[in-house]
Each structure stands twice: as structure tokens, then as C-alpha cells.
Amino acid sequence: MSIQTAQRQLLKSLSIMGSSQLGIMAVNVIKTKLFSLFLGVEGIGLIGLFTSLIDLIRSVSGLGLQDSGVRYIADKSVNDSEIEKEKEIFVLRRWILFTAFIGAAICFFAATPLCWYMFESHEYVDAVRMLSVCVFIAAVASGQTAIMQALKQIPALAMTNLTSTLLIFVVTVLIAFIYGLKGIVAIMFCNSFFLYLMGRYYLRRNCKSTCSVAVPFNECFRRGVPMARLGILTVITGMASYGSLFLIKGFITREGGLDTAGVFQAAWHLSNLFLGLMLNSMAADFYPRLSEANRDKNALSGLVDSQLYIIVLLVGPLLSFLLAFAPLLIRILYSSGFMDAVPLFRWLMIAFFIKSVTWTMSYVLMAKVMVRPFLFTEICWYLLYLPLIYFLYPVYGITGVGIASCIAYSVYLIPLIILMRRIGCSFSLRTVCSATIYTLLMIGLFVLNQIFHSPWIWIVNVLLIGCCGAFSLHALDRIIDIRSIIRKLNDKFRKK
């Protein structure tokens, strides 16, 4: 497969997932605004803490099956018979169900110490125990999305995410309006339940053969063990990722209260909302393709370079825009009570641009099952990140979290580049130049907007972002011929 063809396939999958993610982002933006009005800073902080808790428990109990299952099923789809693929799907379903029970039990019985760490009181113990239902349902839902991703049912996965988001929006906004802070646990339940409901519907509709094979218990256990071993990578990184976020939010809540935690959650959620639009769309197709190509050195190198080039072209203008117009976005999407989140948000934009680059490289290590290098880089990142936060927070306040993120991701990038060279993955000159241009642009925009507060700076922002946006469009046009697509769409509308 040529590099040009690979890039077109990646962009095709991105267009499907991206369109749904764009709708999801629009819905979540409106939901976030309404939540900030109905729940306030304290409510946003509570939702952030509960979400981190659910994610942490799922990562600990889930054995990484959501990611390792994708790799195993995708590999069976290419190299084995249809029956073998169906058996792997059945095994994944049973193991996911088992881990869902384990996760729910952990949440229920560990509610008291978890609550004490977060709030230094037992006020929310009952609420945390009720979250065990959310943990169970969310785990089962993740298994459904893993199967769709492994089978490359990208339209079904996109519709699952979009329709569940719409249902969650309608129901949770009503709960927030009627019950306020008392309805937060019900909101968390709806988040998990509707994702499971729509995932089940679209999986049955588009992947009917996934229910046709049964595997005996002994064979199910035997087949699931290698899957779980591979998933240990995800367990460790998930524990580190969600665990560190849980520790950070708990630390901020204890030091600054729920209001400060709400400010952090606003900046963190908004950052992940926009970056997730790109990375979630790409991951749905990128990881299965990596799993298929991991035995072919040249194909792997071309795929990684193509993915990184596309990420830079798409993420660069988006994050630059968000960084430059952060005050306006925070005021519109939240309220004036969240303006303390602006400096943190800007630092996170730079950090997340570097993260988008490291994201591509870390997926290669997972696809090639390079356990020791993967664990080494991940653990080193968290060993640097957490101490930096505890050191910088007393000096810079909540902004210190963003500074720590920038430093940690910059250091994390170095060993990943070295590992990519050892694997044989090389990056083209155009990819390196594009990444460098957008890095310098974002640093320049950050400095300009932090130093100057004149209205003229908005004009400079628009000009700089417009030039780089035009550069990205020109580069993408050379890959998929955007002009011809626009002409075809115009011809269709004229015929109608």
C-alpha cells in the first residue's frame, strides 16, 4: 500500500468518526454551559472527581481488555478463519463481564477510604457506593465499543457515540435543572447506561455474527489469559493515568476546595473535549491498522509517519485557535466564575500538542507488544509529572499543573523518538517541519497573549492562525484533493 493511499484511508476513517465527534463536541459544549449554570463550580468539581474515580477503578479492574481485545480480534480478522475471530469475540465478552463485576465490588467496598481521600470526610460515601453500578455498566459498554473498533465498524461506532451523547444530554440536563447537586449520581449513571444501551443496539444491528459462537469455560479461560497479559500494559498505564488524575484532583480539592477543583475540571475537560475530537476519531482506525501492520517494518513506518503528519496538520490549527481565544471560550462555554482557568488552559494547549505527537508513538509500542520500553517511558513520565505538580502548585497555584504538563510531555518525547528509531520508524522532513512550525506558533501565541492585552492582539491572533490554517488546508489538499471534493458537492447541489 502506498503512503498516499494509507493517508487517504486514515482521513476517510477520520471523516466518519470526526463528523460524529464534531456533533458530540457541539452537544458537550452546550451541556457544559448548562451544567455550569445549574450546578456551579462546586458541581463541576464533583462531576470531575466522580468521573476520575470511575475511570480509575475501571482501569484497575478491567485488565486492559478493551485495548488488548482490539489487537487480538483485528489480528484474527487478517490471519485466521472467521470461526477463530468469532471465538475471540466471545472470549472478550466473557472476560469483560467478569472484570465488570470485580470493578463494581471494588467501588462498593472501598467507598469509605476513597471518599476520605477525596473530601477528608464521609459525606459522600453512599454516593460513591452507588457509583459501583456505573462502573459495571461502563465496563460492559467498553467491551461493546472494543468489538466494533476491532471489526472496523467505524460507522456503527460513530453512531453509538453520537446517539448516546444526545440521549445523555437531554436526560442529564433535565436532572441537573430539577435536582441540582443532588442529581449528580443520577447524571453519572445516565452517562454509563445510555452508552451501553446504544452500543448494544448498534453492535447487534451491524455485527450480528458476533453472537453465533459459544466457547466452553476452560477454553474461554485459556484464550483469555494471553489477552489479559497483553492488557497488563493498559492496566499499568491506566492506573498511572487515571490514578494520577485522581490524586491531582484530590490534592487540589484538599488544598483549594471544591471551587478550585471546579476551575481545574473546567480547563481539563475543555482541553480534552477538543483534543479528543481528533485523537478519538483517529484511534478508532489507527490501532487496528497498526496491529495488522506490526510485522511489516516498511508498512509500519509509513503508517506511523502518515498518522503523525495528519495529526499535526489537524491538531495544530485547532489548539492554536483555542490557546489564542481562551478567555472568550471560557466565558462563553462556562461563565465569568471560571476565568481563573484561562492560564491553565493555555499551558495545557501547548502540552496537549506535544501529547498528540507522543500519542502516535506510544501506540506503536503497544501494537508491537514492547512491554519493557512502554512501561519504562510511561512510568518515567508519571514519576516526573506528579512531583512537578506538588512542587509547582504552591508557587503558581492551579497554573502549575499546566506548566508541569508541558515539562513532562517535552521530556517524555525524547525516549519515544529514540525508541522509534530503534524500531525502524523514520519521520519524513515534511512531518518534522510541520510539527516544528506549529510548536513555534503556539509558543509565540502564548507569549503574545500573556504579555499584551490590547484589542489589537486579537487581529494578530487571527492573522497568524489564518496563515497556518491555510498551510494545513494546502497540505491536506495534496493528499485527498479537497478542491475536487468541493466541486463534486457543488455539482450535486446544483443538480438537486
Mean pLDDT per 10-residue section of the chain, whose length is 496 residues:
54 58 76 84 82 83 74 63 74 85 90 80 84 91 81 77 89 90 90 89 71 70 75 70 78 79 81 71 64 69 81 85 86 78 89 86 74 79 87 88 91 88 82 87 86 80 85 76 59 54
Q: Is 242 exposed, middle or buried (0-12, 13-18, 19+ CB in 10 A)?
A: buried
- Residue-wise pLDDT for 394-424, tens only, equals 888 888 989 999 999 999 899 888 888 888 7
Q: Determine the pLDDT at residue 34.
A: 87
Spatial distance between the Cα atoms of 396 and 224, rounded to a whole number of angstroms = 47
Residue 108, phi-psi category: left (phi > 0), alpha (psi -120 to 50), beta (remainder)? alpha
| C-alpha cell belonging to residue 411 | 521530556
Q: Determine the pLDDT at residue 294.
A: 65
Cβ atoms within 10 Å of 474's Cβ, excluding its own: 11
pTM: 0.69
Longest dimension (CA), the chain: 70
> What's the domain range around 123?
3-492
Q: Please, what is the angle between helix 65-79 and helix 125-150, to 10°?
A: 10
Spatial distance between the Cα atoms of 142 and 196, rounded to a whole number of angstroms = 8
- Nearest 5°: the CA angle 47, 184, 248 is 20
The one-character DSSP state at 448 is: H
Q: Determine the pLDDT at residue 427.
A: 83
- Helical spans, DSSP H, in 325-370: 326-333, 341-367
DSSP H or E run through 11: helix 3-38
In the chain, how many domains are there? 1
Contact 468, 438 (CB under 8 A): yes
Q: Determine the pLDDT at residue 480.
A: 65
- Tell me the CA distances in angstroms from 309 to 59, 217, 305, one per residue in order: 30, 45, 6
- Tell me the CA distances in angstroms from 234 to 59, 61, 292, 365, 369, one per residue in order: 8, 11, 19, 12, 11
Q: Determine the pLDDT at residue 186.
A: 92
Spatial distance between the Cα atoms of 378 and 375, rounded to a whole number of angstroms = 5
Q: Which residues contact 126 (CB under 8 A, 6 or more apart)?
A: 111
The string of DSSP codes covering 406-420 is HHHHHHHHHHHHHHH
Spatial distance between the Cα atoms of 177 and 181, rounded to a whole number of angstroms = 9
DSSP H or E run through 478: helix 456-480
Contact 36, 334 (CB under 8 A): yes
Q: Determine the pLDDT at residue 153.
A: 74
Q: Is 470 exposed, middle or buried (0-12, 13-18, 19+ CB in 10 A)?
A: exposed
- Tell me the CA distances in angstroms from 182 to 124, 175, 179, 299, one per residue in order: 11, 9, 5, 53
The three-class DSSP label of residue 293 is helix
Closest by CA to 149, choosing from 276, 294, 284, 292, is 284
In one-letter notation, the amino acid at residue 246 is F
| C-alpha cell belonging to residue 1 | 500500500
The one-character DSSP state at 62 is: S
Closest by CA to 6, choosing from 362, 312, 290, is 290
Contact 19, 156 (CB under 8 A): no
Distance between start and end Cα atoms, the chain: 37
Spatial distance between the Cα atoms of 125 and 136, rounded to a whole number of angstroms = 18
Contact 115, 122 (CB under 8 A): yes
The one-character DSSP state at 334 is: S
Query: Cα Rg for the chain, rounded, in angstroms?
Result: 22
Spatial distance between the Cα atoms of 233 and 71, rounded to a whole number of angstroms = 13
CA 288 and chain centroid, separation: 16
| C-alpha cell belonging to residue 28 | 458537550
In one-letter notation, the amino acid at residue 121 is S
Contact 49, 118 (CB under 8 A): yes
